[in-house]
């Protein structure tokens, strides 16, 4: 696979993994799928971080739609559980000792505390914030219908926590270790949420993502 992705199609994702931004960093533009049905146990509403005891999954609860096949653009976030506070505590515990946490944290905290109603709105705000901090100038477009035969590579289910193949950075020979707070205890853990890369590498993060 070429490391230059021509208009890739990606799912909406919550604090997406590093490979997601590897794709965006090596693309002139990308399309985010807004018309698929919500898929459980995917990055659409969860991410993996490096916690004190190793990899840890953060999950955004969603409301069950009365329409069984409602598009993800209609998926509402369930705020009846105090998950925002739980995610905030987990992220602070995991990254407060990282070199760039204090520099970047307030921007992400503000997005979480704004409590968007829709999952895609939360995901889009966080993704755009990461693109801004990574200084990645990839234009994002959003599908207005379900794309059965996309023009570019379809990565909607390639970037998925259940995909047992090598992540896209490793496939392209671009994956390399970087400093992580708990690496002395558990070693380097690849392809976590890109927020792990940002908090640990700061302005150098884009160099890690660019092939």
Which range marks the domain in which residue 179 is found? 9-209
* Structure confidence at residue 69 (pLDDT): 77
Residue 20 phi, psi dihedral angles, 5° rounding: -60, -45
Task: Give strand pairing partners of 140.
Answer: 30
Using 50, 70 and 90 to split pLDDT, how confident is the model at 1?
very low
The pLDDT tens digits for 153-191 are: 999 999 999 999 999 999 999 999 999 999 999 999 999
CA Rg value for the chain: 16
What's the number of domains the chain is made of? 1
CB 26, CB 4: distance < 8 Å:
yes
On whether residue 201 sits in a domain, the answer given is yes
Flag whether 1 is in a domain.
Answer: no
Contact partners, residue 96, CB within 8 Å, separation at least 6: 102
pTM over 0.75? The answer is yes
In a domain, 2, yes or no: no
Rounded to 5°, the CA angle 203-46-23 comes to: 45
- Mean pLDDT score of the chain: 94
**Beta-strand relationship, 9-11 and 29-33:** parallel
Query: Looking at the domain assignment, is residue 105 inside a domain?
Result: yes
Locate 27 and state its tokens: 């693309």
The answer to whether the beta carbons of residues 32 and 11 sit under 8 Å apart is yes
């Amino acid at each position: 696979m070429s490391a230059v992705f021509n208009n890739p199609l990606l799912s909406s994702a919550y604090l997406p993994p590093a490979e997601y931004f590897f794709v965006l960093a090596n693309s002139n533009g990308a399309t985010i799928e807004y018309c698929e049905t919500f898929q459980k146990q995917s990055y659409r509403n969860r991410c993996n971080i490096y916690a004190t005891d190793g990899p840890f999954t953060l999950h955004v609860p969603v409301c069950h739609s009365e329409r069984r096949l409602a598009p993800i653009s209609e998926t509402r976030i369930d705020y009846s559980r105090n998950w925002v506070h739980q995610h905030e505590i987990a992220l602070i515990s995991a990254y407060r000792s990282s070199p760039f946490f204090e520099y970047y944290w307030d921007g992400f905290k503000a997005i979480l505390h704004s409590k968007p109603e829709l999952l895609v709105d939360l995901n889009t705000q966080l993704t755009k914030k990461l693109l801004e901090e990574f200084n990645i100038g990839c234009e994002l477009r959003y599908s207005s219908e379900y794309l059965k035969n996309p023009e570019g590579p379809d990565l909607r289910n390639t970037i998925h926590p259940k995909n047992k193949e090598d992540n896209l950075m490793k496939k392209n020979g671009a994956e390399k270790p970087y400093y992580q707070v708990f690496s002395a205890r558990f070693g380097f853990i690849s392809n976590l949420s890109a927020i792990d890369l940002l908090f640990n590498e700061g302005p150098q993060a884009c160099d890690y993502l660019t092939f």
